[in-house]
Homo-oligomer: A and B are copies of this chain.
Amino acid sequence: MNIDVVFTAQTCSKERVKGKNAVVIDVLRFTSVVAAAMANGAKGIVPFLSVEGAEQYRKDSTEEILLGGERACNKIPGFDFGNSPLEYTPEAVEGKLIGITTTNGTVAIGNAAEATALYALSLLNLQAVVDRLLDGGEDVVIVCSGTLARFALEDGLCAGAAIARLMADTTCELSDSAYLLSTFYEQNKGTLKAVLSRSVHARRLLRLGYTEDLDYCCTVDKFDVVPVLNKGMLMRL
């Protein structure tokens, strides 16, 4: 299995993912939200690049639509949820369709959509997605969303964790970026939360008071869900 890693959403080209399985990571916090919402029974999550796109989706739908996401880390006026996975409780999301727009994660989904299959990965559903990739056996491109077009350490750490688990089960040929992140994970796997908390984005969330979110997003293998993109909607596999 060939494994490649793209460092930011913006540098994920169609050519890079074509014919491969893509995995999108935005640990803080979009793909953690996706894992939590799916595990708590959401019927589907539709990612949007703009607030207007999400609002239009709600307007055009005959079914009840909830909206979530963030701008500058905070909830968007008129939306039902922010970008905290703690908000997406079973009571709030079970059986519901949710439109979400975020600054980084939904951009990565859009840019990687040409892949053979696209899965949303966070630490919360690490093993579930890894098992799916091992079942498929195709080459894998891991797309780290990053923050405002810059590499985000927390996404790199999650990518490294996925690579380590893939390597434990199959023979892998790593690109330079994949090798870099696999060694970074091996070096830091004993202190995941400490390393993750030093990232620029984690420190910003902590300053804004999202301490519980950070703890939650550092939890490994909390959920056994594989969110897969199907005609523009993330659904439980």
Contacts and interface: CB of A to CB of B under 8 A. Distances in A.
Q: Which of A150, A175, A183 has the most CB of B within 10 A?
A: A150
A155 to B, nearest CB: 9
Q: Which of A10, A152, A156, A177 has the most CB of B within 10 A?
A: A177
Nearest to A173: B200
Contacts of A181: 180
Contact of A184 (B7, B10, B184, B200): B184
A156 B180 contact: yes
A199 B177 CA distance: 10
Number of copies: 2
A24 to B, nearest CB: 18
A57 interface: no
Interface residues of A, number: 24
A200 B176 contact: yes
A79 interface: no
Nearest to A187: B187
Contact of A176 (B152, B175, B180): B152
Interface in A156-176: 156, 175-176
11 contacts: A8-B11, A10-B11, A11-B11, A150-B177, A151-B176, A153-B179, A156-B176, A156-B180, A176-B201, A180-B181, A187-B187
Contacts of A198: 179
User: Closest 6 CB pairs between A and B?
Assistant: A153-B176, A151-B177, A151-B176, A7-B7, A176-B199, A176-B200
Secondary structure of the A side of the interface?
helix
Contacts of A200: 175-176
A201 to B, nearest CB: 8
Nearest to A155: B176
A5 to B, nearest CB: 8
A149 B153 CA distance: 20
A181 B201 CA distance: 18
B7 A151 contact: yes
B150 A175 contact: yes
Interface string A19-56: 00000000000000000000000000000000000000
